[in-house]
């Protein structure tokens, strides 16, 4: 519980991650909810059906599933929209509690027609509009569009490289949204800045990453062959969600 003058604010902690094992680690650390993605190096894309099913069996906290067919921009072709609609149905069938999506027009406005189709197909799951919002031309107008579309929450860094630089805009968005939509800060929240961000924005939900390096279990390692391109992730270690890292962030978010 964080104190703000006479008002105390309960802060929900959502952890962004890319595996069922990391979802288990986040739950053990006290996370309220997880956002399951693939390809975090590209900001997150849709995880496989198998990964969603494994995560759903492994955890009983809230499970949000990213619906994003590729990295890059958020202006999608008709075939990509078709893929997103299919992935929404898969997420529903596999027991997700919510989905995370977003579509923009070439001019930087929210594509309200396509988003309305996706939101309708998502129900009764909750819908989060992801950081496509941070690429929108006019954040206040974009927020109003999302409110009119009935989106449940929007994830944002305040249109900056990290939440710390975007706190002023985030605070303004939270004030504008009121009780109509949850504005959830995310990107660059750490144990060092969490309380400051919550105090300055009055956020009631936050989106965090809590990773640690994990060595591969492979004892034999072929150093002459790689699975990625020239710019690639290391072959024999990966990032995983840290239970202790999540526990620290949750503890800060619920401190008296």
Residue ranges and CATH numbers for the domains of the chain are 2-253 (3.20.20.380)
Residue 221 pLDDT: 84
| Dist. CA 110–CA 125, nearest whole Å | 21
Instruction: Sort strands 2-4 and 7-9 into parallel, antiparallel or unpaired.
Output: antiparallel
Q: What does the angle CA 56 – CA 60 – CA 61 come to, to the nearest 5 degrees? A: 105
Q: Contact, 40 vs 69, CB < 8 A?
A: no
What pLDDT score does 2 carry? 39
Q: How far apart are CA 142 and CA 155, in angstroms?
A: 12
CB 203 within 8 A of CB 195: no
Phi, psi (rounded to 5 degrees) for 13? -110, 120
- Note the pLDDT of residue 4: 42
- pLDDT computed for residue 1 by the predictor: 35
Q: Cα–Cα distance between 217 and 69 in angstroms, integer?
A: 30
Report how far residue 107's alpha carbon sits from residue 191's, in angstroms, rounded to the nearest whole number.
Answer: 37
pLDDT at 256: 56
**Integer Cα distance of 102 and 155 in angstroms:** 10
Report the sign of the C-alpha dihedral through residues 176, 182, 183, 189, in that order: positive
Please tell me the distance from the alpha carbon of residue 122 to that of residue 120, in angstroms, as a whole number. 5
What pLDDT is recorded for position 136?
98
pLDDT in tens, 195-236: 999 999 999 999 999 988 888 888 888 887 777 665 666 666
pTM for the full predicted model:
0.90
Which stretches of the chain drop beneath a pLDDT of 50? 1-6
pLDDT of residue 13: 98
- Determine contact, residues 133/142, Cβ cutoff 8 Å: yes
Helix ranges (H only) for 45-110 are 49-58, 78-93
Average pLDDT taken over every residue of the chain = 93
SS3 content of the chain, % helix, strand, coil (to 5): 40, 20, 40
Report the alpha-carbon distance of residue 23 to residue 43 in Å, rounded. 17
Per-residue pLDDT, 135? 97
Cα 214 to its chain centre, rounded Å, is 22
CB 2 within 8 A of CB 9: yes
């Amino acid at each position: 519980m964080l104190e703000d003058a006479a008002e105390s604010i309960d802060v929900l902690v959502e952890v962004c991650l890319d595996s069922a094992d990391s979802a288990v680690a986040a739950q053990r650390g006290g996370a309220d909810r997880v956002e399951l993605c693939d390809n975090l190096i590209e900001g997150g894309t849709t995880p496989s059906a198998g990964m969603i099913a494994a995560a759903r069996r492994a955890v009983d906290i809230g499970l949000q599933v990213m619906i994003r067919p590729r990295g890059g921009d958020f202006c999608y072709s008709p075939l990509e929209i078709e893929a997103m609609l299919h992935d929404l149905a898969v997420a529903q069938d596999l027991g997700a509690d919510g989905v995370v999506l977003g579509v923009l027009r070439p001019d930087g406005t929210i594509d309200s027609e396509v988003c309305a189709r996706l939101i309708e197909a998502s129900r009764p799951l909750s819908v989060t509009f992801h950081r496509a919002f941070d690429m929108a031309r006019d954040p206040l107008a974009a927020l109003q569009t999302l409110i009119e579309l009935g989106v449940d929450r929007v994830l944002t860094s305040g249109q900056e490289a990290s939440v710390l630089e975007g706190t002023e805009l985030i605070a303004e968005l939270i004030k504008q949204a009121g009780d109509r939509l949850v504005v959830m800060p995310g990107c660059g929240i750490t144990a060092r800045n969490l309380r400051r961000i919550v105090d300055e924005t009055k956020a009631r939900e936050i989106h965090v990453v809590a990773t640690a390096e994990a060595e591969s279990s492979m004892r034999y390692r072929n150093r002459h062959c790689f699975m990625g391109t020239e710019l690639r992730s290391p072959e024999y270690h990966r990032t995983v969600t840290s239970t202790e890292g999540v526990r620290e962030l949750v503890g800060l978010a619920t401190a008296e």
